Amino acid sequence: MGDAAAGAGDDPAPIIARRPATVEWAAAETIVAIGGFPVATASPYRGQKGVTDAFPTVPEVGSLFSPDPESLQAVQPDLIFCAQWQQNLVPMLSRIAPVHIFDLRSPSDKVLDNTFRLVGDVGRLLGRQAEAQAYRQDAEARFDELKERLRPASGQPVLLGALAADGRHISVFGRGSLFDSVLGRLGLGNAWTGPMNAWGNMTQGVEVLTNYPDTPFLYLDAGPPTIAARQALGASSLWNALPSVQRGRAKAIPFAWLYGGLPTGLRFGASLAAALAPEERRDRG
Amino acid sequence: MVERGVRKSIWIGAMVIALVGALAAIVLIRAHDLLPPASWLQAFGPPVVEPRALLFRESFLPRVAIGLIAGAGLGLAGTIFQQVLRNPLAEPATLGVSAGAQLALAVTLLWFPALYGTAQGWVALAGAAAAFSVVLWIAGSLGFSAVGMVVAGLMVSLICGSLCALLIVLSHDYLSVLFLWQSGALAQNGWASAKWLLAQILPLALLSGLLARPLEVLGLQDDGARSLGVSVRTTRIALLAVAVAICACVTSAVGVIGFVGLAAPNLTRALGARKLPQRLVWAPFLGACLLTLADQTAQGLAFIPLQIPTGALTGLLGAPLLIWLVFRTRPHAALPRAAAESPARLDEPATLRMMMRGSLVLVAVFVLALGLGRIPGGWHFASWSEFELLSPWRAPRAFAAMACGVMLSVAGALMQRMTGNPMASPELLGISSGATLAVILAMLLMPGFDPAWAFPAAGAGAAVTLVGLLGIAARSSFSPERLLLVGAALATLMTAVSSIALASGDPRTSLLIAWMSGSTYGVTATQAGLACATAVLVLLLAPLCVRWLDILPLGASSAQAVGVNIGNARLVLLLLTAAATAAATLIVGPLSFVGLMAPHMARMLGLQRPLPQLFGAAILGALVMVLADWLGRTMLSPWQLPAGMIATLIGAPYFLWLMRRRSR
């Protein structure tokens, strides 16, 4: 399981891909991060923010789950990056070009390490080893910097989630998610220790927040659904009575894609620091 | 006689006491776990800060309250629907109310998110009312016959459901909350919802009480009611409007809760409440108990690493109970038959000409589907050399769509002939539900589920369902009413399990959504070839059953009189239907639309004798599916829309229009 670089064709001699295509966004943002340019990526959903911001001009070939083979074929890729959970697409994709399957969730408790590994793999397959190495070192330095900035909050548990638009449910992110992994890297704790699905998230009623009266609750700002949820929660006697809400410790942070790669991890880390560090500095002063 | 009555009332009393006892016990135990009884009253002292007291007062208690109110509302609405439509299958969903409300909420969330948070209830109400108006508009042209109304309601449901699924395919992450709402979640964080719902339901309940007498009269046939001087039309519309309003309120407050509206009235009848005023009291009472009990139980299952939505649990618990009910009660006074609206029958040459024309259109559409595609620059008809490159993507899908259209249409035609029920369709038989159920279970329970397992799982599910159906059918001498009820129960079960899967937030479930909405995406050449071979086989076998199809709708006694062994005839028809449905389900998911529509369309075109209807339906079904698949591939390219969804969007409005036009 360890080495996920199981391509469709076994390539003993390293072939350098000049026209890499992706059918999701973690590989796409990784390619862009090391100076490459993917010839295709998946289309974002209506209203979904932030996933293709870094590469707005890359041609889109349809949804994550059913990319259009005709559009993909038309851009003539020479290598297609495909996530392990999209494996059912492999028979179709491998008729178009060799496929590289990557798995950010294996091992599942080291998602951030896996995103570093993906940077290395992409660098090797695109002949950009030096850029990949530089990006990894840069990322480590950024994380160290953020960790230093968060030192006053070190070890503090944080609750991470997203608000469902009905104002009655939240998704919480726990072990096995990229976000949890970033929390650990920055020396913070995850307050959620309850059950998780295989993807490190779980839907709960808003009332679970009563179990975390003093824990900072950071939720992803997904745009309109979050606005709708906040409106509904404004009328909720339970939400308004929560100590964390009253003390302003329930805050929105910029949206990040849960299944993203290292660039997403870095952005999410910066959002965490921005949300938690000023507050701590004020507390000190 | 007296002794039997006494025993029965003892039994009823015991049942009711057990239900109430279980409810009280579970509520008290959960309250006790949450907060020591000594602090219960203290929790009401104004500013509550202690987390457990807060949870008790602002979450636990309002949740119990809203469960009771919503359950009562559903029980009441279900009673009204079943009485007015004279159909034990009628439930809040039958008239398109839930689907209309859901679509309105989805649209609001996407385009007017500010409204969603503040006026959610009113939005749902508006959607439900709009859907109901369409149903009335169609049913009005049919003189508000119970059959017409149920069929129209079902069509409106299908259209709304497809539009909603389309929005979900395009904006999956964004609308994930709709899955929660769709599967009925009662979580509360304040008293606002419960108060709102009570304020809406109470006056509506009183109104329905006032209408109780005319409602009882409607249980008689239309003629009987008219001779008693009741204005059938007005009373029926007034009653349905009250029931729809109740459903819309419940749906907007807690989402779609299946089964309670179906079960409470049936249970009430089974427990011996015959008089309508009795049932109007007992059904809401049982509904309230059932829903709250299910909700509290669902919360007690917290150790399962899946949030089980309450609506899904009511479905899970309800389906077996429904099947039990089917055998306990005598089939309800005859399901509605559709003989009323029949156009003139075509003579033989005209039939042949129509078949020829149909086949030509099918060939033309098929060539179009293979050749014409959409590339970033615009529409483009492929040259032969280009086609060689494109055919691996286009041909399997077009052939598979055609084969599935044929199989579902033939299955639908056979079922409608066999049962004489216009609502009969492969989905209502439960075969496609069984297949889907097996796939979802495999997906949820097998760690590291490989999508390659979907096919064997679906096949096994279809086979198990088929064997079960054959067993049931043999015991009830193949009574069509019972089979339909069992099919409905299986569909409920499937919806419940898929709701759990969809609400789990697992991204793999997107595959499930695509499959369940009828996507031919990813069909291989081998699968398409097998589907075509099966379709040809079905087309060859079906004509052998033509004599039975002519005779069976005349009724059991006439059939026996002309020497047909009804048991054998039905067994063969059932096997053929099930095989066709299972094969099609394996490719395009539990798609019922074509199977329901194509036979109707064939009949409305004048193809009324069994053989022309079968082949006409097959051609129409193939046509609709090939066209739908092509539109799904190209319309919003590169987005791939499931063919089943498009088929519903093409065929259902056409069907509604035809229904209205033909009836003039």
Q: Of A124-138, B64-78, B443-457, give the lowest mean pLDDT range.
A: B443-457
B117–A229 C-beta distance less than 8 A: yes
Q: Of A62-76, A112-126, B223-237, B305-319, give the lowest mean pLDDT range.
A: B223-237
Residue range(s) of every CATH 1.10.3470.10 domain in chain B: 2-328, 352-426+520-662
B21-50 mean pLDDT: 81
Q: Which two tokens stand for residue B639?
A: 């987005």
> Does the CB of A259 have a partner CB in chain B at under 8 Å?
yes
B534-542 mean pLDDT: 92
Beta bridge partners of A81: A22, A100
Q: B102, B173, B510: which to substitute to probe chain A, counting the most A Cβ within 10 Å? A: B173
Contacts of A169 in chain B (CB under 8 A): 177, 180, 185, 187
Q: Of B93-97, B345-349, B409-413, give the lowest mean pLDDT range.
A: B93-97
> Does the CB of A175 have a partner CB in chain B at under 8 Å?
no
Out of B192, B375, B451, the one facing A88 most closely (by C-beta) is B451
Between CA A203 and CA A191 the distance in angstroms is 15
Identify the CA nearest to A229 among candidates B307, B114, B176, B62: B114
B506–A88 C-beta distance less than 8 A: no
**Which residue type is seen at B225?**
A
B522: nearest CA partner in chain A: A92
User: Is residue B505 within 8 Å of residue B160, measured between CB atoms?
Assistant: no
Mention every residue, 6+ apart, whose C-beta is less than 8 A from residue B554. none
> Does the CB of B189 have a partner CB in chain A at under 8 Å?
yes
Identify the CA nearest to B651 among candidates B598, B607, B606, B615: B598
User: Is residue A205 within 8 Å of residue B189, measured between CB atoms?
Assistant: yes
Mean pLDDT estimate for chain A: 87
B524-552 mean pLDDT: 87
H or E segment to which residue B493 belongs? helix B480-503
Identify the CA nearest to B511 among candidates B547, B556, B475, B458: B458
In angstroms, the separation between the Cα of residue B637 and the nearest Cα of chain A is: 7
Between CA B309 and CA A200 the distance in angstroms is 19
Q: Cis (ω within 30 of 0) for the bond into B62?
A: no
> Does the CB of B376 have a partner CB in chain A at under 8 Å?
yes
B172–A60 C-beta distance less than 8 A: no
Beta bridge partners of A218: A160, A251
Between CA A197 and CA B178 the distance in angstroms is 19
> Does the CB of A107 have a partner CB in chain B at under 8 Å?
no
pLDDT tens for residues A15-55? 789 999 999 999 999 999 999 999 999 988 766 667 888 88
**Which residue type is seen at B121?**
G
A164–B113 C-beta distance less than 8 A: no
> Does the CB of A254 have a partner CB in chain B at under 8 Å?
no
B638–A43 C-beta distance less than 8 A: yes
Out of B118, B185, B637, the one facing A68 most closely (by C-beta) is B637
DSSP B377-429: TEEEEPPHHHHHHHHHHHHHHHHHHHHHHHHHHHHHHHHHHHH--TT--HHHH
**What is the pLDDT confidence band of residue B49, given thresholds at 50, 70 and 90?**
low
A59–B181 C-beta distance less than 8 A: no
**What is the pLDDT confidence band of residue A182, given thresholds at 50, 70 and 90?**
very high
DSSP B495-510: HHHHHHHHHTT-TTHH
CATH code for residues A154-284: 3.40.50.1980
In angstroms, the separation between the Cα of residue B636 and the nearest Cα of chain A is: 9
Between CA B291 and CA B68 the distance in angstroms is 7
Distances (CA, A) of B605 to B348, B354, B364: 13, 9, 20
What ipTM goes with this model?
A: 0.83
> Does the CB of A227 have a partner CB in chain B at under 8 Å?
yes
Which B residues in the span 571-630 are in contact with A, Cβ-Cβ below 8 Å? Answer: none
> Percent of chain B at pLDDT above 70?
77
**What is the pLDDT confidence band of residue B385, given thresholds at 50, 70 and 90?**
confident
Out of B114, B303, B304, the one facing A227 most closely (by C-beta) is B114
Please report the pLDDT score of residue A138 as a whole number.
97
Q: A89, A207, A226, A255: which to substitute to probe chain B, counting the most B Cβ within 10 Å? A: A207
Between CA A95 and CA B175 the distance in angstroms is 33
Please report the pLDDT score of residue A7 as a whole number.
43
Between CA B229 and CA B227 the distance in angstroms is 5
Mention every residue, 6+ apart, whose C-beta is less than 8 A from residue B219. B83, B86, B276
pLDDT tens for residues B403-428? 999 999 998 888 888 766 666 777 66
A95: nearest CA partner in chain B: B392
In angstroms, the separation between the Cα of residue A121 and the nearest Cα of chain B is: 24
Between CA B277 and CA B429 the distance in angstroms is 34
Please report the pLDDT score of residue B325 as a whole number.
61
Out of A48, A224, A237, the one facing B190 most closely (by C-beta) is A237
Distances (CA, A) of A65 to A201, B180, B500: 19, 21, 20
- Which residue has 């809401």 as its token pair? B284
Q: Which two tokens stand for residue B430?
A: 């439960």
Give the residue with greater pLDDT, A217 vs B496. A217
Which B residues in the span 490-519 are in contact with A, Cβ-Cβ below 8 Å? Answer: 503-508, 510-511, 514, 519
B520: nearest CA partner in chain A: A66
CATH code for residues B352-426+520-662: 1.10.3470.10
Please report the pLDDT score of residue B332 as a whole number.
41
A184-189 mean pLDDT: 94
Please report the pLDDT score of residue B229 as a whole number.
59
Between CA A115 and CA A2 the distance in angstroms is 14
Domain ranges in chain A? 20-145, 154-284
Q: A166, A193, A204, A214: which to substitute to probe chain B, counting the most B Cβ within 10 Å? A: A166
| Cβ–Cβ pairs < 8 A, chains A and B | 196
Please report the pLDDT score of residue B218 as a whole number.
59
| Fold matches, A20-145 and A154-284 | yes
Indicate if the pLDDT at residue A126 is higher than 90.
yes
User: Is residue A159 within 8 Å of residue A245, measured between CB atoms?
Assistant: no
Q: Around A98, how many Cα atoms within 13 Å sit in the side-chain half-sphere?
A: 18
Q: Which two tokens stand for residue A50?
A: 């932030």
> Does the CB of A230 have a partner CB in chain B at under 8 Å?
yes
Please report the pLDDT score of residue A64 as a whole number.
86
Out of A47, A222, A228, the one facing B117 most closely (by C-beta) is A228
Beta bridge partners of A99: A80
B54–A88 C-beta distance less than 8 A: no
Out of B54, B174, B304, the one facing A47 most closely (by C-beta) is B174
User: Is residue B409 within 8 Å of residue B599, measured between CB atoms?
Assistant: yes
Q: Residues in chain A, how many? A: 285
Architecture of the CATH domain B2-328: Orthogonal Bundle (1.10)
**Which residue type is seen at B2?**
V
B506–A210 C-beta distance less than 8 A: no
CB burial of B218-244 (b: ≥16 within 10 Å; e: otherwise) equals beeebeebeeeebebeebbbbbbebbb
Q: Which two tokens stand for residue B313?
A: 């649990």
pLDDT tens for residues B161-198? 778 777 777 776 555 666 676 677 788 888 988 998 99
B55-72 mean pLDDT: 92
**From the centroid of its chain, how far is CA B111?**
27
Q: Which two tokens stand for residue B340?
A: 């009323």
pLDDT tens for residues B539-570? 998 888 887 877 776 666 777 777 777 778 87
Please report the pLDDT score of residue A19 as a whole number.
95
Give the residue with greater pLDDT, B395 vs B459. B395
In angstroms, the separation between the Cα of residue B19 and the nearest Cα of chain A is: 27
Distances (CA, A) of A32 to A20, A38, A131, B94, B206: 11, 7, 11, 51, 65
Highest averaged pLDDT of the listed ranges A178-182, A256-260, B634-638: A178-182
Out of A64, A66, A207, the one facing B189 most closely (by C-beta) is A207
Q: Of A91-95, B219-223, B243-247, give the lowest mean pLDDT range.
A: B219-223
A206-213 mean pLDDT: 89
B583-608 mean pLDDT: 81
Q: Of A61-70, A163-172, B344-353, give the lowest mean pLDDT range.
A: B344-353
Give the residue with greater pLDDT, B153 vs A47. B153
Identify the CA nearest to A96 among candidates A114, A120, A121, A70: A70
Contacts of A46 in chain B (CB under 8 A): 110, 170-171, 174
Q: Which two tokens stand for residue B535?
A: 């379709």
B119: nearest CA partner in chain A: A232
**What is the pLDDT confidence band of residue A232, given thresholds at 50, 70 and 90?**
confident
Q: Which two tokens stand for residue B199?
A: 């304020």
Q: Are strands A189-190 and A201-205 parallel, antiparallel or unpaired?
A: unpaired
Identify the CA nearest to B251 among candidates B152, B196, B165, B182: B182
Mention every residue, 6+ apart, whose C-beta is less than 8 A from residue A281. A152
User: Is residue A222 within 8 Å of residue B174, measured between CB atoms?
Assistant: yes
In angstroms, the separation between the Cα of residue A206 and the nearest Cα of chain B is: 7
H or E segment to which residue B175 belongs? none
Helix (H, G, I), strand (E, B) or coil at B374: strand
Indicate if the pLDDT at residue A95 is higher than 70.
yes
User: Is residue B246 within 8 Å of residue B201, measured between CB atoms?
Assistant: yes
Identify the CA nearest to B156 among candidates B137, B170, B171: B137
DSSP A20: E
- Supply the pTM of this predicted model: 0.82
Helix (H, G, I), strand (E, B) or coil at B90: coil
B627-633 mean pLDDT: 91
Contacts of B450 in chain A (CB under 8 A): 87
> Does the CB of A235 have a partner CB in chain B at under 8 Å?
yes
- From the candidate CATH numbers 3.40.50.1980, 3.50.50.60, 3.40.50.150, 3.90.420.10, the one assigned to the domain spanning A20-145: 3.40.50.1980
Between CA B68 and CA B253 the distance in angstroms is 13
- Number of other CB atoms surrounding residue A34 within 10 Å: 22
Indicate if the pLDDT at residue B360 is higher than 90.
yes
Q: Cis (ω within 30 of 0) for the bond into A107?
A: yes
- Which residue has 């055919």 as its token pair? B391
B340-357 mean pLDDT: 76
Between CA B165 and CA B67 the distance in angstroms is 27
Between CA B623 and CA B358 the distance in angstroms is 9
B291-301 mean pLDDT: 85
Burial of A194 (0-12, 13-18, 19+ CB in 10 A): middle
> Does the CB of B169 have a partner CB in chain A at under 8 Å?
yes
Contacts of A205 in chain B (CB under 8 A): 59, 185, 187-189
Between CA A40 and CA B197 the distance in angstroms is 49
Mention every residue, 6+ apart, whose C-beta is less than 8 A from residue B150. B85, B87, B89, B90, B94, B95, B336, B423
Between CA B133 and CA B245 the distance in angstroms is 12
Indicate if the pLDDT at residue B579 is higher than 50.
yes
B174–A222 C-beta distance less than 8 A: yes
